[in-house]
Amino acid sequence: MESGRTLEEELADEIRAAIRETRPPEAAEPDDRRRIRGSAADALRRAEAYATPSVPEGARFAFAKRVLLRLFRFLWRDQAAFDALTLDALRAMLSDADRLEITLEGVREGVGRELAESRRRAAIQDSRFALLERVAPDTSAAASAAPTARASRGELPAAVYSLFEERFRGSPAEIAEGQRAYLPFLAGAPGPVLDAGCGRGELLALLRDAGIPALGVESNPISARLCREAGLAVEEADAYAYVAARPPESLGAVVALQVVEHWTAAATFAFLVEARRALRPGGTLLLETINTDSLSALRAFFLDPTHVRPVPPAALAFLAEAAGFADCRIEYRSPIPESARLEERSSNDAKLNRLLFAAQDYALVARVPRE
């Protein structure tokens, strides 16, 4: 290790170097294929003009010459047939080249999107490693004797968890596509929508684009800052403390996606009580978490080191009802593709599919009574 450099700095440099090595190569600039095809098409048109002898309009003795051409056409019949077949082949080649160019354009656009996503992820990773390096460890006796407040709560450093989400959660576009189905539940809410634990802000961006007033709260300072830089109204705070500080009946909906599995049952119930108080009559509660009825989904639960306990649908619905919510129902989300499930040849196969490969997530949707 170089003099004056910490082990964390050396590791960060090595990780950044590895990330740079795994980035896809820059796409090469395409050739000027339109110019080449244009020249080929011009040549083909000129060849067509000479493929079969003809008499131009206005030529002297044009009628007599046309009669002679018809009489002696048998002399160049085979050559004309060969020329016609050759021209047909050239036209087919140009048509195939046009279709190939359209296909290549689509491939280039897809590669460009992948490159942009790769650069975005690499830039976020670099910035988070830089943040880790800037946070110098406290080596004082007092700090060594007692854990930090974050560590005492069993939390990972914010930058480490942001990097974990970036690697395992999926791209923002994929997450947004899955969350788009929640917009009908939130449209027409009797007040602003609060996204508690908004993360990277995918749902907030969807709500903004749909013209639904919304705000977010996020405890991770990196995610909160990135949301604000994207123009989203996000406050850095603890979700429970933020909701508890809201005035009564000041919200139209409270949403918490993939959040309650990070809390104990007591913390979840306390959050629900405050959400019920802060919601207006007719307001909506929408909670999404991992489906405990699917054994394959539990792999995702145990992958996240910050998860506290899985929450069965019946248990979450009971806590919501105990907190004063009504009309509770469960919406199952994220089904597993048929290709990844067992082929059902008997009733036992169907039972195994329901046990092993049921929907990966579920959402609890509940309402505040209007009276």
| DSSP code at position 105 | H
**Beta pairing partners, 287:** 256, 364
CB atoms within 10 A of CB 84: 13
Question: Which amino acid, 250?
Answer: S
Confidence of residue 156 (pLDDT cuts 50, 70, 90): confident
Lowest mean pLDDT, pick from 20-29, 151-160, 235-244, 319-328? 20-29
Q: Which one, of 368, 358, 367, 355, lies nearest residue 335 by Cα?
A: 358
Inter-CA distances, 69 with 57, 73, 76, Å: 14, 6, 10
217 touches 195 (CB < 8 A): yes
Neighbours of 179 (CB within 10 A): 20
Please give the pLDDT value at position 19: 54
Calculate the dihedral angle through the C-alpha atoms of 71, 74, 75, 76, rounding to the nearest 10 degrees: 110
- 267 Cβ partners below 8 Å, 6+ apart? 240
Strands 279-290 and 361-367: antiparallel
Amino acid at 9: E
pLDDT at 362: 96
In degrees and rounded to multiples of 5, residue 279 shows phi and psi of -90, 145
The tokens describing 349, both together, are 């196969």
Q: Which residues contact 237 (CB under 8 A, 6 or more apart)?
A: 217, 218, 219
For tokens 């040549």, the residue is 43
**How much is the pLDDT for 258?**
93
pLDDT of residue 265: 95
pLDDT at 214 exceeding the cut of 80: yes
Which of 117-131, 242-256, 303-317, 331-345 shows the lowest mean pLDDT across its residues? 117-131
Whole-angstrom distance, CA of residue 296 vs CA of residue 39:
58
CB atoms within 10 A of CB 237: 15
* Residue partners of 303: CB distance under 8 A and separation at least 6: 168
- pLDDT, mean of residues 193-211: 95
184-188, 228-232, 233-237, 343-347 — which is least confidently predicted? Answer: 343-347
Position 152 confidence tier, pLDDT thresholds 50, 70, 90: very low
Residues 6+ apart with CB under 8 A from 201: 195, 216, 223, 226, 227, 230, 232, 234
pLDDT (average), residues 102-109:
74
Question: Residue 55 has which token pair?
Answer: 């008499």
- Give the position of tokens 């296909």: 103
Between CA 258 and CA 240 the distance in angstroms is 15
DSSP 339: G
User: What is the three-state SS of 171-210?
Assistant: CHHHHHHHHHHHHHHHCCCCCCEEEECCCCCHHHHHHHHC
Phi, psi (deg, nearest 5) at residue 73? -65, -30
Angle (deg, nearest 10), helices 77-134 and 221-229? 130
